[in-house]
Structures are given as C-alpha cells and as structure tokens.
Amino acid sequence: GAWSDFLIGMTVIEFSRLQVKFLPSLSNSPGGGGSNSKRSDVSYEHVVSVNTAQSSTAKNVGSFLASTGTYFFFLARDRHLGEKVANTLILGTAGVFFLAS
C-alpha cells in the first residue's frame, strides 16, 4: 500500500544520499565548491533516479514471481482444497499484507 511505498521512497532517498557522499567522481572533483554544486545536484538526481528504477523493478519482479508461484501452487494441487487449507491460505495472505503495509 501507500505506507510501504512511502518507506521504500524514504529508503531510496537516504541510500542515494549516502551513495552520492561516497562517489569518487564527486568527492575528488577539482575546484571544490561553487561551480561543482550544480554537478552534485545532477549526480544526486541521477543516483536517485537509478535507485528508484531499481526498487520499482525489484518490487514488480517480486510481485510477478509471487503470482507465478501461487499459480503453479494451485495448478499442482488438486482443485478441492479443504476448509483448513483455504482458511490458512487466507489468513497467511492477510498476515503478509499486514506486515508489508
């Protein structure tokens, strides 16, 4: 949900700040100030963009793999699930969604 997206966004921002701080091209750049501030902003934006794209891709790949795994799980099992199995699956799914949000 929205809370997990917010937390991922905040993590991406914090990770990008740390990553920019340790990039050799920014910390060892000549001139040390005024004219390099624009370059630092552009590099930070690039790092945030790359990290955001990677986190979105990982989230989408994870969702795809979970959906595919669920599909094959139900495909391999017989079509008549017992009441206990169905309730366990529903409560397990609700628990995962609760922890993720």
When pLDDT is averaged across residues 8-17 and rounded to a whole number, the result is 90
pLDDT number for residue 56: 85
pLDDT number for residue 28: 47
Summarize pLDDT for 64-89 with one digit per residue, the tens.
Answer: 887 777 777 777 666 677 778 777 87
Closest C-alpha to 86, from 37, 94, 61: 94
Regarding predicted confidence, which is higher, 77 or 57? 57
pLDDT number for residue 34: 47
Distance from C-alpha of 38 to C-alpha of 54, rounded to nearest angstrom: 24
Which amino acid belongs to residue 79? R
Band the pLDDT of 14: cuts 50, 70, 90: very high
Distance from C-alpha of 64 to C-alpha of 59, rounded to nearest angstrom: 9
Whether residue 38 is predicted with pLDDT greater than 70 in this model: the reply is: no
Who contacts 56 (Cβ-Cβ below 8 Å, separation ≥6)? none
Predicted TM-score (pTM) of the model is 0.54
